[in-house]
A and B are shown apart, each in its own frame.
Chain A
Amino acid sequence: MCTMIAQQVRIFGRGKSGPEWFDVREANVSYDHPYDLPLEHALNIDFVNEAMGPGARVAVELSVDAARQLVRTIQAVLAEADQRGVLEDCPVIAVPAREISTT
């Protein structure tokens, strides 16, 4: 793409892009050309499972403002769950983000 601003993080979860759910193992986060959102650049998140091939992908393309609001909302929801003592000890794979390129 034209910015090449992209990073990958290992994750643990499940995603759905058709009728079936599948394991998502990586999240690719980029600020680059979206495919469908009518903007030149967008914050793109692809939840993927590289071992399953390129088609194992749940994609979202967000405006900058939407992405920032989403980050704040996720943090707020996790903080509230933590405060109420309902956070579960999920088996998150603690692998550091692999930096693809820098800004």
Chain B
Amino acid sequence: MAHAYQTDQYEGMIAETVTMKGHNGDTINAYVARPLGAGPFPGMVVIHHAPGWDEWYRECTRKFAHHGFVAISPNLYFRDGHGTPEDVGAKVRAAGGAPDARVLGDLDGANALLRSLPYVSRKVGIFGTCSGGRQAFLAGCRLKGLDAVIECWGGRVVMSKEELTPSQPVAPIEYTKDLSAPILGLFGNEDKSPTPEQVNQHEAELKKHGKSYEFHRYDGAGHGFFYYDRAAYRQEQAMDGWKKLFAFTDRTLR
């Protein structure tokens, strides 16, 4: 992994649940992890995947803190009730996912909170997997004040007309021209959402609009190959993905 720390160095971290202002000024909760110290550290908005605001995302948020970021993972399902992450996630699954406008409002609020903290530098990135990958790209196009976008296997960036709903009314790829930050994309070539063909379309659109992008596509991997708690985990591809991710953030956020 890219974090070359020494065995005799000091390190410490604080991680806790906080509240923050999200879409429409609503109060929602979020999980924040940060290294101890004055910083300044770059910020990272961590978008949980569709299955929910779960343990993997807690650990992922702490992983970013371990690598020197102040990381915040807002609970995008806060308004859908409380219970186990699975039960709440299943409720949102049945509703066809969280509305894009609400998600963007919550992500904007998370960025604003990071930027208000005295130990956060002027650089903030955004990371997401699965539906969160889609939302990371959407945020990079629709929100101001993001310096790097990390999209991991974002499904439904490319959407047919039949897939559009009132809560997700526009295919994110339509906003490509508005992308305001460099983007790193990680994809598995055996994924069904997005398919390699959809990733081709995504890449072609980025190229067409002259955007700064870096896509890596892995053979032998499908959807969610970072998830060590699922059968989809692919150790070699995941470790290479994390390495590329931290190389990207070294260039864009430090």
Contacts and interface: CB of A to CB of B under 8 A. Distances in A.
A71 interface: no
B91 A48 contact: yes
Nearest to A39: B231
Nearest to A59: B90
Contacts of A55: 83-84, 87
B87 A54 contact: yes
A53 B93 CA distance: 15
A48 B88 CA distance: 12
Interface stretch (B34-42, B105-113, B160-168): B160-168
A3 interface: yes
A33 interface: yes
A1 interface: yes
B213 to A, nearest CB: 21
A2 interface: yes
A4 B192 contact: no
A91 interface: no
A10 interface: no
Given A1-B93, A4-B156, A6-B94, A101 B163 contact: yes
Interface residues of A, number: 28
A56 to B, nearest CB: 8
Contacts, number: 93
Contacts of B156: 2-4
B168 A4 contact: yes
A5 B223 CA distance: 17
Interface in B155-188: 155-156, 162-163, 165, 168
B96 A100 contact: yes
A46 B90 contact: yes
B3 interface: no
Given A53-B83, A54-B88, A100-B95, A41 B192 contact: yes
B82 A54 contact: yes
B81 interface: yes
A1 B87 contact: no
A44 B230 contact: no
Contacts of B26: none
Given A2-B193, A28-B90, A30-B94, A54 B223 contact: no
Contacts of B128: none
A38 interface: yes
B186 to A, nearest CB: 15
A2 B50 contact: yes
A1 B83 contact: no
Interface string A67-103: 0000000000000000000000000000000001111
A6 B87 contact: no
A1 B81 contact: no
Given A6-B96, A55-B87, 6 more contacts: A1-B50, A1-B155, A2-B130, A33-B51, A41-B192, A101-B165
25 contacts: A1-B97, A2-B156, A2-B193, A2-B223, A3-B193, A4-B156, A4-B163, A6-B93, A32-B93, A33-B50, A33-B223, A35-B90, A39-B231, A40-B191, A40-B222, A40-B232, A44-B93, A46-B94, A48-B94, A54-B80, A54-B82, A54-B83, A54-B91, A100-B95, A102-B162
Interface of A: 1-4, 6, 8, 28, 30, 32-33, 35, 38-41, 44, 46, 48, 50, 53-55, 57, 59, 100-103
